[in-house]
C-alpha cells in the first residue's frame, strides 16, 4: 500500500481536496443540492442508532439525505433502526443481516459503519470496493494486515471516508490546536490522559438476546468460533476476540487528538502494561480493566494513556510545555496556565480562556463532504495513524515487549 507521508497528511488535512486531489471517480459522484443522498447503516446497536442515525437526523433536511437500508446480524437491532427510518422519513427500510446484501443495492450512495471493532476493516474494505462513500466508527482496526488492506481499498476507490474520531471537530480542541501552534507553551515534550471509571464501560452492556434472532456466524466473522453466548454478544467490548480494551476503545480518541493538535505522524515506539485485575471472573471478561500505555513520537514528545476501571477518581488530560500547561480535562472548557514553568519563565495566560475555533461538527462535516468532495476532518490517513498507535500498544501488552514502528517500511516490530 502507499500510505501517505506526514507531509502528505498535513497537506490533505489543510487544503481543499476539491482543488488539489479530487479523482475522476470522486468527481463523478458529485450530487446537486436537489438530489437526495441515500444512506445505509451497518451496525444498528447503541452507536449505530444513538450516534450515527441521530447525528445524521440532526442535519438530514438541510443536507437532503435519508436512511433507506439497515444491516445487523441481530433482528432486534434491525427492527429498532427500521422504526426510526419509518418515523423520520416515512419509508419502509430495507433490512439485511449480511452487509454484502446491503452493499449490492446500487441506489445506496453512502454507508455508515457502526459495527463491532473486529468487523470494521472488513466492512470498510467492502464498502470501498463497492464504491460507496462512508463514515466508519473507531477504532478503525485491531489487526495491522487488515488495516493496510482497508486503507488501500479506500485510497484506490477515491471515496469520501470520515473516521469517527469526532473530538477533533470540537471547537474547543480546534482552539487548543491554535494555542499549541502559536508557540506560547514553549517546547512540548509530554502529553497525558488518565481516563478512569468505577466500572468498565462494557459491564453496562450486558443483556439478553434470543439466539433465534441472531445470525451468530455473521457476528463472529473471522473471530474464533464459539457457541452462542448472549453476554458475549451484547457486551462484546469486554472480550479480546472482538475488542482490545481501553486503548483502542477510549484511548484512540485521545491519541487522535494528540495527532491532530500536534500535527504528528505515527509514534516511533510504544510500551504497555495492564491486565484484568478488578473484574476477574465477572462474566468471564477478557479485556484489561487496568492499562497504561506510553509512546515516543519522532517529533520529540512523549504520550501517556492510563485507565483504571476499579476507581473513577483522578481523571487528567494535560499538555505540558516549558512555559505552561494546557488542561483539557474539561473537554469543552480547556484552560491555559503558567503551571509548572520555571520561575520567571512562564507564559502570561490572561484569564486562561482558550478561544474556540468554530467549524462544522463531525457528522455535518461528513454530510457536506458527500457533496463538495472535500477532505473530511478525520480522513483515512488519520484512521491509519490512530490504528498504528493503538495496535502498537495492544501488541506491546500481549508480547511484553516494546513495539517499534518503521515509517520507511510502514511495519510494526519488536524492539
Q: What does the pLDDT profile of the chain (415 residues) look like in tens digits?
A: 444 444 444 434 433 333 344 555 555 566 766 799 999 999 999 999 999 999 999 999 999 999 999 999 999 999 999 999 999 999 999 999 999 999 999 999 999 999 999 999 999 999 999 999 999 999 999 999 999 999 999 999 999 999 999 999 999 999 999 999 999 999 999 999 999 999 999 999 999 999 999 999 999 999 999 999 999 999 999 999 999 999 999 999 999 999 999 999 999 999 999 999 999 988 999 999 999 999 999 999 999 999 999 999 999 999 999 999 999 999 999 999 999 999 999 999 999 999 999 999 999 999 999 999 999 999 999 999 999 999 999 999 999 999 999 999 999 999 8
Q: Which SS3 state, helix, strand or coil, does residue 42 take?
A: strand
Of 59, 117, 42, the C-alpha closest to 365 is: 59
Q: Which SS3 state, helix, strand or coil, does residue 293 take?
A: strand
Residue 264 grid cell: 504528528
- Structural domains in the chain, sorted by start: 6-168+362-379 (3.40.50.720), 170-359+390-414 (3.30.360.10)
Of 7, 54, 66, the C-alpha closest to 361 is: 54
Contact 163, 292 (CB under 8 A): no
Q: Which SS3 state, helix, strand or coil, does residue 295 take?
A: strand
Q: Which SS3 state, helix, strand or coil, does residue 357 take?
A: coil
Of 384, 367, 388, 376, the C-alpha closest to 65 is: 367
Question: Per-residue b/e over 320-351, b at no fewer than 16 CB within 10 Å?
Answer: bbebbbbbbeeeeebbbebeebeeeebbebee
Q: Can you give the pLDDT at residue 31?
A: 72
Contact 320, 328 (CB under 8 A): no
The crossing angle, in degrees rounded to 10, of helices 252-262 and 171-182 is 40
Residue 339 grid cell: 503551571
Alpha helices by DSSP H, listed for 139-203, are 144-157, 171-182
What length is written for the chain? Answer: 415
CA 66 to chain centre: 23
Amino acid at each position: 500500500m502507499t500510505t501517505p507521508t506526514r507531509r502528505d497528511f498535513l497537506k490533505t488535512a489543510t487544503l481543499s481536496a476539491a482543488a488539489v486531489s479530487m479523482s475522476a471517480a470522486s468527481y463523478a459522484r458529485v450530487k446537486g443540492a436537489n438530489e437526495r443522498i441515500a444512506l445505509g447503516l451497518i451496525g444498528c446497536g447503541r452507536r449505530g442508532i444513538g450516534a450515527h442515525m441521530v447525528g445524521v437526523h440532526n442535519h438530514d433536511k438541510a443536507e437532503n439525505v435519508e436512511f433507506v437500508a439497515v444491516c445487523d446480524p441481530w433482528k432486534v437491532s434491525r427492527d429498532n433502526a427500521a422504526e426510526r427510518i419509518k418515523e423520520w422519513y416515512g419509508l419502509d427500510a430495507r433490512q439485511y443481516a449480511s452487509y454484502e446484501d446491503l452493499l449490492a443495492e446500487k441506489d445506496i450512495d453512502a454507508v455508515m459503519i457502526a459495527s463491532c471493532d473486529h468487523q470494521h476493516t472488513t466492512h470498510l474494505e467492502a464498502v470501498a470496493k463497492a464504491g460507496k462513500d462512508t463514515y466508519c466508527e473507531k477504532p478503525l482496526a485491531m489487526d495491522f494486515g487488515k488495516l493496510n488492506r482497508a486503507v488501500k481499498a479506500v485510497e484506490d476507490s477515491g471515496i469520501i471516508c470520515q473516521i469517527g474520531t469526532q473530538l477533533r471537530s470540537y471547537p474547543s480542541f480546534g482552539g487548543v490546536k491554535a494555542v499549541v501552534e502559536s508557540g506560547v507553551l514553549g517546547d512540548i515534550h509530554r502529553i497525558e490522559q488518565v481516563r478512569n471509571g468505577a466500572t468498565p464501560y462494557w459491564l453496562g452492556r450486558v443483556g439478553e438476546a434470543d439466539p433465534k434472532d441472531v445470525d451468530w456466524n455473521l457476528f463472529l466473522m473471522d473471530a474464533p468460533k464459539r457457541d452462542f453466548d448472549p453476554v458475549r454478544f451484547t457486551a462484546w467490548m469486554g472480550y479480546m476476540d472482538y475488542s482490545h480494551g481501553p486503548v483502542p476503545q477510549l484511548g484512540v480518541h485521545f491519541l487522535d487528538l494528540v495527532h491532530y493538535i500536534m500535527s504528528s505522524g505515527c509514534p516511533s515506539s510504544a510500551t504497555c502494561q495492564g491486565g484484568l485485575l478488578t473484574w476477574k471472573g465477572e462474566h468471564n471478561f477478557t479485556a484489561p480493566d487496568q492499562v497504561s500505555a506510553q509512546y515516543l513520537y519522532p517529533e520529540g514528545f512523549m504520550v501517556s494513556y492510563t485507565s483504571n476501571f476499579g476507581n473513577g477518581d483522578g481523571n487528567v488530560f494535560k499538555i505540558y510545555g516549558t512555559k505552561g500547561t494546557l488542561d483539557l480535562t474539561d473537554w469543552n472548557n480547556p484552560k491555559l496556565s503558567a503551571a509548572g514553568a520555571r520561575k520567571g519563565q512562564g507564559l502570561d495566560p490572561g484569564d486562561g480562556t482558550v478561544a474556540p475555533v468554530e467549524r462544522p461538527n463531525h457528522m455535518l462535516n461528513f454530510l457536506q463532504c458527500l457533496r463538495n468532495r472535500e477532505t473530511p476532518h478525520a480522513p483515512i490517513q488519520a484512521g491509519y495513524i490512530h490504528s498504528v498507535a493503538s495496535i502498537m500498544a495492544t501488541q506491546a501488552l500481549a508480547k511484553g515487549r516494546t513495539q517499534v514502528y518503521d515509517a520507511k517500511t510502514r511495519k510494526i516490530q519488536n524492539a
